[in-house]
Amino acid sequence: MAQRLHLVFGGELVDPQSSVFRDPDEIDIVGMFPNYESALAAWKGAAQRTVDNAHMRYFIAHIHRLRDEEREASPTEELGN
């Protein structure tokens, strides 16, 4: 069975309507999780701790969806180019 790794991270954004971090050196790495359910629980916890700051955002990155640059891209991946 393939692993479905997820990274939870966040930080303060320049603008709450964007995803540009104010200071990338201050990004909070919550952790790497073996499934979406545990990543979602960690994301909720981090987001709830910072709910009073409208500029703080946390994200879940689907690490298992990163593609190998050595492999030929699928037709779907090529649509963006």
Identify the CA nearest to 33 among candidates 4, 65, 58, 57. Answer: 4
| Beta carbons of 13 and 59 less than 8 angstroms apart | no
Triad 32, 8, 4: Cα angle to 5°: 50
The domain locations on the chain are 6-70
Identify the CA nearest to 36 among candidates 6, 63, 66. Answer: 6
| Beta carbons of 46 and 28 less than 8 angstroms apart | yes
Q: What is the pLDDT of residues 33-42, one digit of tens each?
A: 999 999 999 9
Q: What is the pLDDT of residues 48-78, one digit of tens each?
A: 999 999 999 999 999 877 766 566 655 545 4
Q: pTM of this prediction?
A: 0.77
**CATH domain 6-70 topology:** Alpha-Beta Plaits (3.30.70)
